[in-house]
Amino acid sequence: MADRDRVKVSKSSIPSKKVRIIGKIRGFTDQESQSLTQDSKKWITVEKSQENNSSKVMVSFESKSTSRKDPYELDYCYEQDEDIGLIYSREIQPMVLEVLDGRNASVIALGARGSGKTCTIQGSREKPGLAVMAMSEILSEAMNSGKSVCVSLYEVIQEHAYDLLDPKHPQVKILEGAQGKTHLKGLSQVDVKSIQEFHNIYFSRVSSQKSSQKIPTEKMRCHKGLMIHVSPEDDNLKTKLTSKMNFVDLAGYEDPRRNIKDGTIFTESNRTNKSLYTLLNVVHALNVNEKRVPYRESELTRILQDSLSGTSHVLILTCLNPSFCQDSVRSISLVSMSRRNTKQVLINSTNKTRSSTKVKMPSSIKSGKIPSTSLTMKKQIASSILSSKKENSSILRGRKLFDEEKSNNSKQLKSPPEDTSARKSNLPQVVASDVTPFSLEQLQTQDKSISDVNFAVEPIENDTPMPISPNDMAIVLAEKDVSPHGRSDNLDAAPGRLGEVNVPLKKNEDGAPSLTERLREISNNLKSLSSSTPSRVKFLENVVTPYSSHIDPKTPVMQRAVEIHHSPRGAFCNHSSGVKHSLVQEYLKFLNSANKEELKGLKGIGEKRATYILECREETPEPFKQLDDLQDIGLSAKQIKGMMKQVAGELFN
Ligand SMILES: Nc1ncnc2c1ncn2[C@@H]1O[C@H](COP(=O)(O)OP(=O)(O)OP(=O)(O)O)[C@@H](O)[C@H]1O
């Protein structure tokens, strides 16, 4: 690269965001161009706007099935007429400078099959991609500054990494060294002195589709990674001062449920997508500054760990097919979710609750449009939701933004985002997986009446029943009161309370109580709960939930706990939804812990599914966190409902 170009990249162009998420719509192939007619509609629309000194880019798709467009927000989106040179100078060159300065950087391309990832990252000898352009600049800069450059190439197939530079393609072992440094045992590093040398290595090894794995490549998708190591010539400083630049071409995203009939492809697809989901969970955790970043949950993120953490910068490049492709929509919906800044921090002088729980808020709250509601009310809503989620920490803690192919993502596509009605009855599922920016400060700034409002919120202890919606209450009840295993600390000491009806459970041979036994106990707890005094369950009167369609404009008198005045039917409904929740939790617990034979005893689970469940458990200790997760093992929503009905019915046999 010429010096004058080099000068153009000033320090100011160094990315300010830790993870930048952009899109790139690839050009039409010759075949696609031919099939375009004059009437062909543009499938993807990119709207760029400037807001408060920051640019906002919304990408939307014209869906074949509906006329509705779902907009997704990205940091930027390069359109078909914006070429790769522009992406390089704007996005990659600043990262190259950082790498030459001793920091790590990663560029990760993802997207549906055929969306142009390989062409963008690798390109060809004639039309070099981003990695080749970066390598060219790194080599010339390294030569000037007396640094050495070497490269590694690897692929990740089915959660196993293999070295591509060693002809035997040995498996790479990922070891964690001191200070979070990743040591990749078995990954070759080859010195590179010229771009020609690099071409020979890169285009021959990465392009050769035949890997050593005896797996048909058309079936096995894989992630391909290039790691450029830049080190000082002095061997003593090498370990300390080597920086890395990663380029990863992720396997084309593919909805595993499309191939549901073929169990092998389903499993393979889910495993391959695992890297993507984990990567996006990592991105999300980094974006919101979470303490725990789930690097360890996939091989790829383990490999990249020291290039994603610390001061490194990451570019997620979402490649998009220019003509209709459902997987493109899905992939952009995933990345845009991971991009949202979802740190939920409730800063309230009277409430010490601090939470980073991800909370799905209805659109009215999202937009701050609760016109006739006072701030106190909003505070109450915020407190209620955040605190109720805290109550449900056992459900939410460790819940990730993306699990392996969660149906929530598809829900986002299937149902309009504005439609909160579907969510009303489904709170515990959406809160954990789908996220929306929300903070109390946002509410405050959006409410002009802030100064007039008396903050009448009482201190709330973490273990105090919170003013929450009936739905939430049901969950809290389930969590605190009717859990068949965990007795509520403050309840079971009193006579006639839940703890007393807990008879020892009949255990299986391995010591675990059988599902029927667990469910029977829930049933007993329900009876006990129904007959117990309602004063133990305290709601706020007239609680306004953000999920209710009508919001009473009155400023509520906040009380710590008010007796509930429910009709018997209302009370029964609350109790039974709590029990329903408990039953579901028990069922999931059972799926997460039962042995193969026990699993096969369940309706809808045969040999294949039982084996798959065990495989999933090897990868993630508790793969089933909500009922929808059962769709990952190929069950339809209808089948899942049928299974639960059967389980519930067994209680009365
Ligand atoms: N900018 C472009 N203009 C025209 N055609 C392109 C462009 N980029 C890629 N293509 C074409 O699109 C097709 C798919 O590209 P590519 O192989 O890079 O996709 P991919 O996302 O890596 O696919 P896979 O997920 O299957 O590996 C190829 O035929 C390629 O030539």
Express each pLDDT in 147-198 by its tens digit: 999 999 999 998 899 999 998 899 999 887 766 678 899 999 999 999 999 9
Place of tokens 């598809």: 410
Q: Counting atoms of ligand 1 from 1, which one is nearest the CA of 84? A: 1
Q: Counting atoms of ligand 1 from 1, which one is nearest the CA of 28? A: 4
CA-closest residue to ligand 1 atom 3: 27
How many angstroms does the Cα of residue 161 sit away from the middle of ligand 1? 24
Given a contact cutoff of 8 angstroms between Cβ atoms, the answer to whether 396 and 432 are in contact is yes
Bridge-based pairing of strands 105-111 and 313-320 is parallel
Backbone angles phi, psi at 395, to 5 degrees: -80, -40
CA-closest residue to ligand 1 atom 8: 116
CA-closest residue to ligand 1 atom 1: 27
Whether 200 has a pLDDT exceeding 50, the answer reads yes
How many angstroms does the Cα of residue 132 sit away from the middle of ligand 1? 16
How many angstroms does the Cα of residue 251 sit away from the middle of ligand 1? 13
Q: Count other Cβ atoms within 10 Å, centred on residue 623.
A: 21
CA-closest residue to ligand 1 atom 5: 29
Q: Counting atoms of ligand 1 from 1, which one is nearest the CA of 252? A: 25
Whether 309 has a pLDDT exceeding 50, the answer reads yes
pLDDT band of 560, cuts 50, 70, 90:
very low
Spell out where 256-366 has E strands.
313-320
Q: Counting atoms of ligand 1 from 1, which one is nearest the CA of 113? A: 25
- From the list 332, 328, 341, 359, the residue with the least C-alpha distance to 284 is 341
Is residue 633 classed as helix, strand or coil in its secondary structure? Answer: helix
**Domain ranges (residues) in the chain:** 18-31+40-339, 342-464, 482-536+563-653
CA-closest residue to ligand 1 atom 10: 116
107-122 pLDDT, tens digit per residue, is: 999 999 999 999 999 9
Q: Counting atoms of ligand 1 from 1, which one is nearest the CA of 251? A: 25
Q: How many Cα atoms within 13 Å fall on the side-chain side of residue 45?
A: 10
What pLDDT, on the 0 to 100 scale, is given for residue 506?
Answer: 47
Measured distance CA(311)–CA(317) in Å, rounded: 19
Q: Counting atoms of ligand 1 from 1, which one is nearest the CA of 109? A: 21
What are the tokens at 426? 């489904």
User: What is the residue-wise DSSP string for 245-259?
Assistant: EEEEEPPPB--GGGG
Whether 477 has a pLDDT exceeding 90, the answer reads no
Q: Count other Cβ atoms within 10 Å, centred on residue 448.
A: 8
Bridge partner list, 73: 58
Give me the interface pTM, i.e. the ipTM.
Answer: 0.96
CA-closest residue to ligand 1 atom 23: 114
How many angstroms does the Cα of residue 127 sit away from the middle of ligand 1? 12
- Which amino acid is residue 5, in one-letter code? D
Q: Which H helix or E strand runs over 48?
A: strand 44-51
What are the tokens at 368? 């701050």
Q: Counting atoms of ligand 1 from 1, which one is nearest the CA of 80? A: 1
Q: Which H helix or E strand runs over 226?
A: strand 223-232
State if pTM tops 0.80.
no
Given a contact cutoff of 8 angstroms between Cβ atoms, the answer to whether 370 and 551 are in contact is yes
Residues near ligand 1 (Cβ within 6 A): 26-29, 111, 113-119, 252, 319
DSSP annotation of 614: H
How many angstroms does the Cα of residue 538 sit away from the middle of ligand 1? 59
30-34, 240-244, 510-514: least confident range = 510-514
How far is residue 297 CA from its own chain's centroid?
Answer: 12
How many angstroms does the Cα of residue 26 sit away from the middle of ligand 1? 7
Given a contact cutoff of 8 angstroms between Cβ atoms, the answer to whether 185 and 178 are in contact is no
Which residue among 29, 30, 130 is best mutated to probe the pocket of ligand 1, counting the most ligand atoms within 8 A of its Cβ? 29
What are the tokens at 239? 């370990």
Whether 336 has a pLDDT exceeding 80, the answer reads yes
- From the list 433, 427, 432, 429, the residue with the least C-alpha distance to 472 is 427
First to last CA, the chain: 78
Residue 88 to residues 55, 91, 130, 136, 523: CA-CA distances in angstroms? Answer: 19, 5, 6, 12, 62
How many angstroms does the Cα of residue 119 sit away from the middle of ligand 1? 6
Which residue among 79, 80, 110, 118 is best mutated to probe the pocket of ligand 1, counting the most ligand atoms within 8 A of its Cβ? 118
Those residues whose C-beta lies under 8 Å from the C-beta of residue 390, and which sit 6 or more positions away, are 353, 355, 357, 462
How many angstroms does the Cα of residue 40 sit away from the middle of ligand 1? 21
Q: Counting atoms of ligand 1 from 1, which one is nearest the CA of 319? A: 21
Q: Counting atoms of ligand 1 from 1, which one is nearest the CA of 83? A: 1
Q: Counting atoms of ligand 1 from 1, which one is nearest the CA of 122? A: 18
How many angstroms does the Cα of residue 115 sit away from the middle of ligand 1? 6
How many angstroms does the Cα of residue 502 sit away from the middle of ligand 1? 61
What are the tokens at 466? 């919170």
150-164, 239-253, 494-508, 583-597: least confident range = 494-508
Which residue among 26, 156, 253 is best mutated to probe the pocket of ligand 1, counting the most ligand atoms within 8 A of its Cβ? 26
How many angstroms does the Cα of residue 72 sit away from the middle of ligand 1? 23
Q: Which residues are annotated as a binding site for ATP?
A: 111-118
Measured distance CA(639)–CA(626) in Å, rounded: 15
Given a contact cutoff of 8 angstroms between Cβ atoms, the answer to whether 24 and 76 are in contact is no
Which residue among 34, 119, 223, 226 is best mutated to probe the pocket of ligand 1, counting the most ligand atoms within 8 A of its Cβ? 119
Measured distance CA(595)–CA(141) in Å, rounded: 58
DSSP annotation of 646: H
How many angstroms does the Cα of residue 23 sit away from the middle of ligand 1? 15
**Burial (Cβ within 10 Å: 0-12, 13-18, ≥19) of residue 56:** middle
Percentage of the chain exceeding pLDDT 90:
26
Mean pLDDT of 425-436: 32
Whether 207 has a pLDDT exceeding 50, the answer reads yes
* Long-range contact pairs involving 645-650 (C-beta distance under 8 Å, separation at least 24): 646/603, 647/515, 647/519, 647/583, 647/587, 647/603, 648/519, 648/583, 650/516, 650/519
Whether 344 has a pLDDT exceeding 50, the answer reads no
Q: Which residues are annotated as a binding site?
A: 111-118
Helix axes 515-531, 568-593, angle to 10 degrees: 160
CA-closest residue to ligand 1 atom 2: 27
What pLDDT, on the 0 to 100 scale, is given for residue 457?
Answer: 28
Place of tokens 């190439």: 153
Residue 385 to residues 124, 436, 442: CA-CA distances in angstroms? Answer: 52, 13, 15
Measured distance CA(110)–CA(223) in Å, rounded: 10
Helix axes 130-145, 195-205, angle to 10 degrees: 150
192-196, 209-213, 458-462, 547-551: least confident range = 458-462
What are the tokens at 192? 């590179």
CA-closest residue to ligand 1 atom 14: 114
- For domain 18-31+40-339, the CATH class is alpha beta
How many angstroms does the Cα of residue 73 sit away from the middle of ligand 1? 24
Bridge partner list, 319: 24, 111
**Burial (Cβ within 10 Å: 0-12, 13-18, ≥19) of residue 67:** exposed
pLDDT band of 42, cuts 50, 70, 90:
confident
CA-closest residue to ligand 1 atom 16: 116
Mean confidence (pLDDT) of the chain = 67
- From the list 23, 43, 299, the residue with the least C-alpha distance to 172 is 299
Bridge partner list, 74: 57
Measured distance CA(169)–CA(160) in Å, rounded: 11
507-541 pLDDT, tens digit per residue, is: 444 445 566 666 666 666 555 554 443 433 333 33
Apex CA 342: angle with CA 339 and CA 346, to 5°? 165
119-123, 316-320, 581-585, 629-633: least confident range = 629-633
Measured distance CA(218)–CA(614) in Å, rounded: 26
CA-closest residue to ligand 1 atom 9: 116
Bridge-based pairing of strands 313-320 and 243-249 is unpaired
250-295 pLDDT, tens digit per residue, is: 999 887 666 555 555 556 666 778 888 899 999 888 888 888 889 9
How many angstroms does the Cα of residue 330 sit away from the middle of ligand 1? 18
What are the tokens at 227? 């790691």
Measured distance CA(78)–CA(337) in Å, rounded: 19
CA-closest residue to ligand 1 atom 13: 114
